[in-house]
Amino acid sequence: MASLALSSPPGVKFPSFLASSSSSLFSRSSIFAGTSESRSRISVSGGAKCNLPKALNVGNGNARVPIINETTIPKFFDSSRLEKSVSGTNTKLKLFSGTANPALSQEIAWYMGLELGKISIKRFADGEIYVQLKESVRGCDVFLVQPTCTPTNENLMELLIMIDACRRASAKKVTAVIPYFGYARADRKTQGRESIAAKLVANLITEAGADRVLACDLHSGQSMGYFDIPVDHVYCQPVILDYLASKSISSEDLVVVSPDVGGVARARAFAKKLSDAPLAIVDKRRHGHNVAEVMNLIGDVKGKVAVMVDDMIDTAGTIVKGAALLHDEGAREVYACCTHAVFSPPAIERLSSGLLQEVIVTNTLPVAEKNYFPQLTILSVANLLGETIWRVHDDSSVSSIFL
């Protein structure tokens, strides 16, 4: 029997937050660029600030990990929240991690000033999953961090069993924190006799006993309607925007590109935050699943820095063929930005082929070290998720983070 016990280290370390300066790229004063030490932050309405951690820049196969300052702790919005987390008296909020992305869970715990809850997750020889909470959650507000990434079905089943364990342990509320929601692309019927797996997965999570779902950048907004429980949709766009601002690219040289017609709304919202940059659209025809063919370009990219925006990169066929088209149309540089780095083969070979100046992703999904390549930059969304969790727990506004 394989066994995996997850718990936080005895001495939790907290990141320090550094000041930042504004950038000419942004038309809104609510987004700030990173400092010379590559830290960044989001400014929220009312003067509160959600600090974002340093980017994990992967170059030449070597990861440069953010430095953690042991002597400082996060500047929480509410001083009473800080006192509770440091003194350990905030026993009504529990944060647990599944096995899909424990590194992200630990970063969230560092930001929140909490220790990860103790949980034992085992897999039997026949593949069955066993979950046992190692501490009481009776009457607690429990948050379970588990993206349903590869292996998708195993991680989804693990999440369902974790929810069931919390419900049977008399947790007051159970929130499934799903940084990446698998099966999100199966959100409608495009042909006869197809399933709508996104709705099925939503039903499974609801029936397992979850009271709320917190998800990042769903593939399509209608997926929120598949749940019969509240859904908090976290947009990771500010993290990527802030990083782009630190690169000091002139707003006159920028053009935001949607890699397909379905992503136009996402790209338009992205462009508005970049001083209302012009928009271009790649028109493609898909002949099968994970197979894309670029047809032509709508818009002008000649002599400009093109920033392609999508919610995920899977096999990278869409992004790479789009990048090739942009170069053919005269683009000076091409950047690819996405929230979810799925990176199914042969994505790494395609992305590292030299067509892209940089591939900017977040850590909603774990990226294996073998998949690092020189153009890859990984940005952390841990503080954004940590602040959202605090606000859900405190019954505060979540949407104001993104104003």
Per-residue pLDDT of the chain (403 residues; tens, 9 = 90+): 555 444 433 333 333 332 333 333 333 323 323 333 333 332 223 333 334 444 555 444 433 333 233 333 344 445 455 555 544 446 699 999 999 999 999 999 999 999 999 999 999 999 999 999 999 999 999 999 999 999 999 999 999 999 999 999 999 999 999 999 999 999 989 899 999 999 999 999 999 999 999 999 998 878 898 999 999 999 999 999 999 989 888 888 999 999 988 899 999 999 999 989 999 999 877 666 666 565 789 999 999 999 999 999 999 998 999 999 999 999 999 999 999 999 999 999 999 999 999 999 999 999 999 999 999 999 999 999 999 999 999 999 999 988 7
Rounded distance between C-alpha atoms, residue 4 and residue 96, angstroms: 14
Topology (CATH level 3) of domain 93-234: Rossmann fold (3.40.50)
Write down the pLDDT at residue 238.
92
Helix (H) or strand (E) run with residue 278 in it: none
Rounded distance between C-alpha atoms, residue 21 and residue 35, angstroms: 7
User: Would 93-234 and 237-379 be classified into the same CATH topology?
Assistant: yes
Write down the pLDDT at residue 36.
33
Helix (H) or strand (E) run with residue 296 in it: strand 291-298
According to the CATH classification, is domain 237-379 in 3.40.50.2020? yes
Write down the pLDDT at residue 124.
97
First to last CA, the chain: 49
User: How buried is residue 47: exposed, middle or buried, by Cβ count under 10 Å (0-12/13-18/19+)?
Assistant: exposed
Rounded distance between C-alpha atoms, residue 193 and residue 62, angstroms: 47
Q: How far is the CA of 141 from the CAs of 158, 168, 214, in angstroms?
A: 19, 14, 14
What is the model's pTM? 0.79
Total residues belonging to the chain: 403
Rounded distance between C-alpha atoms, residue 203 and residue 398, angstroms: 24
User: How buried is residue 194: exposed, middle or buried, by Cβ count under 10 Å (0-12/13-18/19+)?
Assistant: exposed
Count of Cβ atoms closer than 10 Å to residue 369 Cβ: 10
Write down the pLDDT at residue 392.
96
Write down the pLDDT at residue 223.
85
What residues does each domain of the chain span? 93-234, 237-379
Count of Cβ atoms closer than 10 Å to residue 273 Cβ: 22
Q: Are 364 and 236 in contact (CB under 8 A)?
A: yes
Beta bridge partners of 280: 257
Write down the pLDDT at residue 261.
87
Write down the pLDDT at residue 225.
86
Count of Cβ atoms closer than 10 Å to residue 144 Cβ: 26
